[in-house]
Amino acid sequence: ATLADTDIYSNIRRMLKSSWLPFLVTCSLYYFLGVGALDNAATPDLDASFVPHFVLGPVTILPAAAIIILAFFRVRARFAMAISVLIGVLICLFVQRESPGMIARTLIVGYRADDPALAAMLNGGGVVSMVRTAVIVLLSATYSGLFEGTGLLDGAKKIVAKWSKKTTPFGGVTAASVFTSLICFNQTLLVMLVHQLSHDSVKNESDLALYLEDSAILIAAMIPWSIASSVPLETVGAPTAAIGFAFYLFLVPAWNLAADWRKHRKRV
């Protein structure tokens, strides 16, 4: 939304329209795969892990519910997040009975669980964990600005424009996303570069924002050496082959390529 200078809630509404069918298909595939491989003995007892450490109940849903409700009323994202965090702090104080010092430490350096089973699922977060992300964004913006200012991307822009004319605008953005993701190790730089490469081919900023969300954002997670893929896999201890089961990542671009192609054929 920031790159394309568009309204984030309008983007979300359009994303829902472009991804609802791939989402349902993905859920169905996981359901049938899960039924086929059901093994009750291997199912972890989450209640046994959480109950000794947390007070569980409907009230703990409030921080997430606040985000959804405020988004419905189109409250600015940073304000919605601030309100959600405040509600979470109050729940920690009065429901979970955590000390103010513990809450402050968690906000700064993240949560650390003593139970190894919980640690694998919950450890992390905090302001400190966002420093790396902020540095990546700053470096990505620097590289992106250098490429734009020096004209290094002019040749690639022409190629993307030609491909967009031969196929569809979304096809051009998707092709740019695929090739750029192979040389970019982080999602932020990928999105910035694809935005620059496709800006001349897709004049409507709202369309470009949607195309980026339905291609570059997802394709980054298909590349094994991309941070968007390697970090989640490493976190859960999954092999690289697990990417093949991330059906949603493949279905959204494929579905929108087909839909965009149908629109293009009708116009022709």
Torsion sign, CA atoms 149, 153, 154, 158: negative
The answer, as to whether pTM is greater than 0.85, is no
The rounded distance, in Å, linking the Cα atoms of 224 and 72 is 35
- The band of 39, judged by pLDDT with boundaries at 50, 70 and 90, is low
Predicted confidence (pLDDT) at residue 65 exceeds the cutoff of 90: yes
Q: Within 13 Å and on the Cβ side, how many CA atoms surround 265?
A: 6
Predicted confidence (pLDDT) at residue 36 exceeds the cutoff of 70: no
Residue 111 pairs with which residues in a beta bridge? 124
pLDDT of residue 267: 67
Residue 127 pairs with which residues in a beta bridge? none
23 or 36, which is more confident: 23
pLDDT of residue 150: 83
Q: How many CB atoms lie within 10 A of CB 103?
A: 16
> Greatest CA span in the chain, whole angstroms?
66
Predicted confidence (pLDDT) at residue 253 exceeds the cutoff of 80: yes
Of the given ranges (86-95, 110-119, 141-150, 208-217), which has the lowest mean pLDDT? 141-150
pLDDT of residue 44: 61
pLDDT of residue 268: 58
pLDDT of residue 53: 82
Q: How many CB atoms lie within 10 A of CB 201?
A: 21
